[in-house]
Each structure stands twice: as C-alpha cells, then as structure tokens.
Amino acid sequence: MNAVFTALVLLSLAAMAAMSPAEALPAMVSGVTGAVTLSLKLTAIYAVWLSVLRMMQETGLDKKLSRGLRPLIKRLFKGEKEETYDLIAVNLASDLLGMGGAATAAGIDSMRSMSDGSERASDNMLLLLVVNAVSVQLIPATVIALRAAGGSSDASSVILPIFLSSLAATVVGVVLSKIFSGASRAK
C-alpha cells in the first residue's frame, strides 16, 4: 500500500511540475477548503445527534423506545440479556432517526454486551452488524442536513425514497442473515 501512495504522490508532483503551479495550487487550496468545511459541518451534525441521544438517556426516553422496540428486538436477537436489548434499542432508534455516526457508540456497546469473549462473532452479533450496515431510516437527518448545507432547494425530498430503499435492504439483510446463520448451524 505504501508503494501505491508513493506512486500517487510522485505522479501528482510530476503533473504539477509539468503544468503551471500557479493553476494547480489554487485548485489544491480550494479542495482542502471544501474538505475542511464539510468536515466541520459533519462534526456539528454529529455533535447535535450525540446531544439528542444523551437527552434521550437522561429523560428515560430511550427506555420507553426500548419497550416499544422490544418485541421486534427479542424476536430478532434471541437469548440476549435485558441490558443488551436496551443497547440494541438505542442503536436501532439512532439508525431510524438517521443519526448516522451517533449510533456507533450504542452499536459498539451492544456488541460488547453480546460478546462471550471468544474470537468468533455470534449469530446475533452478525445480525446486528447487518442491520446497522443497511439501517432503516425514517428520517435521514444527516443526509437532509448535508443536502441543506450544500444548497439544496428541497433537502427533504429524499425521505420517502431513502425510507423505502433502506426498509427493503434491511428486510433482505435480516432474511439472508437468518438463512446463513441457520445454514452454518446445520454444518
């Protein structure tokens, strides 16, 4: 991998030397400025959603949400501890609300709670990984915020398409995960 990056850097420097540095440098500065601006916007969105999650925990809303999601969670993630169900509920609620990276902490805590200390992931851990990867999003808040920050005239026009596609992907992911976990137990 070092060779690849070394080659990219050398090719970039050669291209810049062959072209006019007066044209290349402003383009590079502009690219870096755009990247930093986007990073700051994403950091702000992430901070807002982490605060929302913390308020949910402080007010007990996460427990209420957990009770609402509990029948589905118990059906999907059989044999886990009550604490694990609560962590999974917070993780799934974060995904449902489109909190993106803010769901990561609850997902990691859920995985730790499900871990039995072995090197091998359990079927429930793999299912949670699949559900997190495809995640149904009722409100794709991060996408809407990024579209609004990018100047979209109708940033929320993506709600229905994202919801339908993420729902379909989640159903397919759960079904395939259950099929493959059943097949691996049969061996």
Mean model confidence pLDDT for the chain: 85
What is the rounded CA–CA span in Å between residue 120 and residue 123? 10
How much is the pLDDT for 169?
A: 95
Torsion of CA 83, 85, 91, 93, to 10 degrees: -120
Give the per-residue SS3 of 22-83: HHHHHHHHHHHHHHHHHHHHHHHHHHHHHHHHHHHHHHCHHHHHHHHHHHHHHHHCCCCCHH
How much is the pLDDT for 21?
A: 74
> What ranges do the domains of the chain cover?
2-186
Q: Mean pLDDT throughout 134-159?
A: 85
Whether the pLDDT of residue 119 is over 80: the answer is yes
Q: Of 7-11, 35-39, 95-99, 140-144, where does mean pLDDT reach its minimum?
A: 95-99
Whether the pLDDT of residue 184 is over 70: the answer is no
